[in-house]
Amino acid sequence: MKRWLVGLLLVGWLVSPAEARKPNILFIFTDDQAPWALGASGNPLAKTPHMDRIAREGAYLPNAYTVTPVCSPSRAALMTSRYGTEVGITDWIHPRREAKLGLDPKFPVWPRELKKAGYRTALVGKWHLGRQDNQHPTRYGFDHFMGHRRGGWSPVNPTLEKGGTNRKFEGLTADVLADEALAYVRANMSRPFLLCWHTRAPHARWLPVAEEDMAPYKGVDVPIPNPDYPKLDVPRVKRMTREYLASVRSVDRNVGRMLKALDDLKLADHTIVIFSSDHGYNMGHNGIWHKGNGHWVLKPPPPATDNIPRGQRPNMYDNSIKVPTMIRWPGVIRPGTVVKQTVSNLDWFPTILAMAGVATQPSWRLRGRDFTPLLKGRTPAGWDNTYYAEYSTHHQSRTHMRMISTGQWKLIRDFLDPMRDELYHLARDPDEATNLIRSKDPKVRSVVADLHMRLVARMKINGDTVPRSR
């Protein structure tokens, strides 16, 4: 009896009751992965059994979006629950032209709040929110960082920062980052942990990958979404598709290693596993490849315009903005749940804090919503599936694109060039193949007027300058 009481007291001393209730949080965040590159989406070409397992054992969110289709402002929105225009990051951060640009540490961020709540916190992988020391991940609540502060780096033998020092690591980058993530989990089992594992893959360049990741695609004549698109470079699209899917598989294989480790360490029942990406991707869709700063894959590409260089196709297609999203939360989310409501990466801040039992503050002015009720099968009253997104390019091209979508209709305005405005009837045209912006149909004109009014209202809320010409 005495031994039992001593043991009980010892456990209570090592782990407080509050900490005992907190779940571990594993946030797996890929780079440039579209939902179509996921088996759970119905694509038989995507060999992603471990990503699919997360969806099967938890919830799949087919209508998850980012609020901007490029790396840095998307990651800023993830961290702050604010739009890029609000934090001063509207395009990917250029390492030379914008060497001092980054996310201001003054903004509230959820990793810092979890650290205050007793979590051990780590970021493994890509940061891309500033290279200066005052923009280091440890300034935003991460106790441990191993990875790269810039946007892209090599898929093999990468030079990465660890312990404040840059050094070269031998091996495939996907495996190197996974090794670090696994080591962190094994070393931090005694207290609740937050591990943000931000992979490099499937960001281009995709090769090399492990032989087992490339094997399913060698010699395969892969189908592509728009093979009849005028002047499409079909052989190039097929080659890139094979390489891209192999890179996705390299991530999935390492996700499998992590899920097995959670099982073996008896952590699976106490760990929320989140899987998502910073934005989507095009691979021949509508004649382009890449993301929001897309490239034509045509022979030849269209000529340049005043603001758009030859070969460029800045865009806000759904393939650029939709993100693969799954969540496994044992004991809370019923396995096989499908959440059809619209969510965005702005929502992660309040949602993750709610998962951890940490309160948000009105002074933070979060733009996102806590969607934990959706995961539990309840839709909050007044849940609106309309979503707004923005993208201002200023590197290769110059645009000022703003978008609003109801799920039925989608309006895109480029305030630097009205000839680039777009309107799609998503309910009838989910591939966004037919731009209706010039339609004379009174019903269509009414839709345009309504969506434009709502778009401008959203811009005003964000403090986003509305050009007088509109």
User: What confidence tens digit (pLDDT) does each residue in 366-414 have?
Assistant: 999 999 999 999 999 999 999 999 999 999 899 999 999 999 999 999 9
Burial of 443 (0-12, 13-18, 19+ CB in 10 A): exposed
DSSP element (H, E) containing 273: strand 271-277
Q: Are 58 and 337 in contact (CB under 8 A)?
A: yes
- Model confidence band, residue 470 (pLDDT cutoffs 50, 70, 90): very low
pLDDT number for residue 136: 98
Question: 249-302: per-residue pLDDT in tens?
Answer: 999 999 999 999 999 999 999 999 999 999 999 999 999 999 999 999 999 999
User: Considering the domain boundaries, does residue 348 fall inside one?
Assistant: yes
Question: How does DSSP classify residue 286?
Answer: G
Indicate the number of domains in the chain: 1
Is residue 470 domain-resident?
Answer: no
State whether residue 148 is helix, strand or coil.
strand
> For the residues of 313-331, what is the DSSP string, one character each?
EE---HHHHB---EEE-TT
Going by C-alpha positions, the residue among 122, 83, 89 that lies closest to residue 346 is 83
Q: What is the pLDDT of residues 29-54, one digit of tens each?
A: 999 999 999 999 999 999 999 999 99
Residue 459 inside a domain? The answer is no
pLDDT the model gives residue 165: 96
Pairwise CA distance, residues 130 & 399, whole Å: 23
Q: Is residue 287 part of a domain?
A: yes
Q: Look up the domain containing 27 and give its range.
A: 22-385
Let me know if residue 373 belongs to a domain. Answer: yes
Would residue 420 count as lying in a domain? no
The enclosing domain of 295 has a CATH number of: 3.40.720.10
Answer whether residue 430 is part of any domain: no
Q: Is the pTM of this model over 0.85?
A: yes
Whether residue 13 has pLDDT greater than 60: no
Q: Cite the DSSP H helix spans in 15-154.
A: 17-21, 49-57, 71-80, 84-87, 110-116
The pLDDT of residue 468 is: 53
pLDDT, residue 182, reads 98
> Residue 295: helix, strand or coil by DSSP?
strand
Q: Is residue 3 part of a domain?
A: no
